[in-house]
Amino acid sequence: MSHVHVNGVANGSAVSQTNGNVHRAPLDASRLRLNLTDTRKTVPPPEELVFGKTYTDHMLVVYHDPVTGWSDPEIKPYGPLCIDPASSVFQYGTSCFEGMKAYLGPDGKARLFRPEQNMARLKRSAERLALPAFEEGEVLKLIKKLVTLEARWIPALKGHSLYIRPTIIGTRPSIGVHASDHSILFVIMSPTGPYFRTGAKAVSLLAINDSVRSWPGGTGGNKVATNYSPTFKPQEHAEKLGYQQVLWLLGEKITEVGAMNFFVVVQREDGDLDLITPSLDGTILPGITRQSVLALAAAHPSRSVLPGLPETVRLHAHERELTMTDLKAWSAEGRLLEAFGTGTAAIIAGIGRIGFEGKDTVLPEHESSLGPVAKALFERVTDIQEGRVEWENWGIVCE
């Protein structure tokens, strides 16, 4: 990669000096440099796509130096990064990221789903790890440009999308235990189909409390890498026992399912339905799909009728503490109608059974993996994502 020197500093950083004071350059999308490949890859058929296995021709990279600030952003051919082995990301796990998607609308244009929410969360995650600050609006401009350049990679098939992974890593070349004032912000993208390939079968969960995903005062409310790697061993254990995902508990208190937010639908005595998800108490990631599901449920039927649900039934959305005792009691009473997880990758995934302390709580069976409420929410969310329904300016066109 070629480097541009400005005021004697490499990496294309726009540095100015006034009265002996060096002003660090902010992250500025207007300084974007394009370094496009001469040999484009072949886009695989949608039915052959596996989540996270195939990547587009290009990626976005921008560097932060504590003296010069942010370098010129560059869109360049996808490839390895050159990083010092003493970098903070290797030694202390200073890495955060986002998961978002681009969808192809009926007009052939690429769309992002509530991307400003992703950028705000990325900024919060970076702040939690004391990584260098940046203007999230500038990052979003760069992502839109990258998506526009790589639009041919967005599968033109319902339920498919282009997964986008903005990442920030600390690259301070020292094993001293300090915050990283060097960093790399990069964005890679991968065309993808359905996250779970279980077809009409709902996902099974093993509820555990001998290992935890997050804890009070920790980083569970941020999307940082160290939230995920410690979950791999418990996930392997769940799979050995015949379950597909882990339901993370703190004691008996439910937090998340796998890497998704958790919801249940409970029958009320008045005929309406309660839609319940655990409160954001710092141990739970504030998911964009989670927030969207709560908003759409609250709008039914007064502002918008969800597909397939009667107007006579109201959804009461709640954020509150949820325990395994609650689930078992509702199940015994015949009131536990549905359980599902929400997240960017899977959107909405139905749950069929939950194992805990040697016994399974079994959810009612449905024609598909989703119950009526989860299916209605899934259809409405995907219709908005793919540009078939306009709602609250949630779909942003990349132009």
In this prediction, residue 201 has a pLDDT band, given cuts at 50, 70 and 90, of: confident
299: pLDDT strictly greater than 90: yes
Q: Which helix (H) or strand (E) holds 186?
A: strand 183-192
Domain boundary among 168, 192, 216: 192
pLDDT per position as a tens digit, 217-260: 999 999 999 999 999 999 999 999 999 999 999 999 999 999 99
pLDDT per position as a tens digit, 165-179: 999 999 999 999 999
Q: Is residue 362 part of a domain?
A: yes
Domain boundary among 192, 218, 248: 192
The DSSP line for 272-337 is: -EEEEE---SSSS---HHHHHHHHHHHHTTTT-PPTTS-TTPPEEEEE---BHHHHHHHHHTT-EE
Tokens of 173: 């070349």
Query: Residue 148 maps to which CATH number?
Result: 3.30.470.10
Q: Is residue 3 part of a domain?
A: no
Residues 6+ apart with CB under 8 A from 105: 111, 386, 387, 388, 395, 397
CA-based torsion, 78, 150, 142, 157: positive or negative: negative
Q: Is residue 161 part of a domain?
A: yes
Whether 103 and 28 map to the same domain: the answer is yes
Whether 167 and 288 map to the same domain: the answer is no
What single-letter amino acid sits at 157?
L
- Predicted local confidence at residue 47, as pLDDT: 86
Whether 307 and 215 map to the same domain: the answer is yes
Tokens of 273: 């339905």
Query: Residue 219 maps to which CATH number?
Result: 3.20.10.10
- Predicted local confidence at residue 368, as pLDDT: 87
Tokens of 30: 């207007």
pLDDT per position as a tens digit, 92-151: 999 999 999 999 999 999 999 999 999 999 999 999 999 999 999 999 999 999 999 999
Whether 359 and 210 map to the same domain: the answer is yes
Residue 160: left (phi > 0), alpha (psi -120 to 50), or beta? Answer: beta
SS (H, E, C) 146-161: HHHHCHHHCCCCCCCE
- Predicted local confidence at residue 2, as pLDDT: 36
Whether 169 and 210 map to the same domain: the answer is no
Whether 223 and 154 map to the same domain: the answer is no
By percentage, how much of the chain surpasses pLDDT 70?
93
Domain around 325: 203-384
Whether 149 and 259 map to the same domain: the answer is no
Whether 237 and 188 map to the same domain: the answer is no
Which residue in 348, 42, 353 sits closest to 194, CA to CA? 348
322: pLDDT strictly greater than 60: yes
9: pLDDT strictly greater than 50: no
Whether 36 and 125 map to the same domain: the answer is yes
pLDDT per position as a tens digit, 330-353: 999 999 999 999 999 999 999 999
Q: Is residue 8 part of a domain?
A: no
Q: Is residue 4 part of a domain?
A: no
In this prediction, residue 3 has a pLDDT band, given cuts at 50, 70 and 90, of: very low
Question: Is-cis flag, bond preceding 46, omega within 30?
Answer: no
pLDDT per position as a tens digit, 33-43: 999 999 999 99
- Predicted local confidence at residue 79, as pLDDT: 97
Whether 217 and 152 map to the same domain: the answer is no
- Predicted local confidence at residue 188, as pLDDT: 98
By percentage, how much of the chain surpasses pLDDT 90?
88
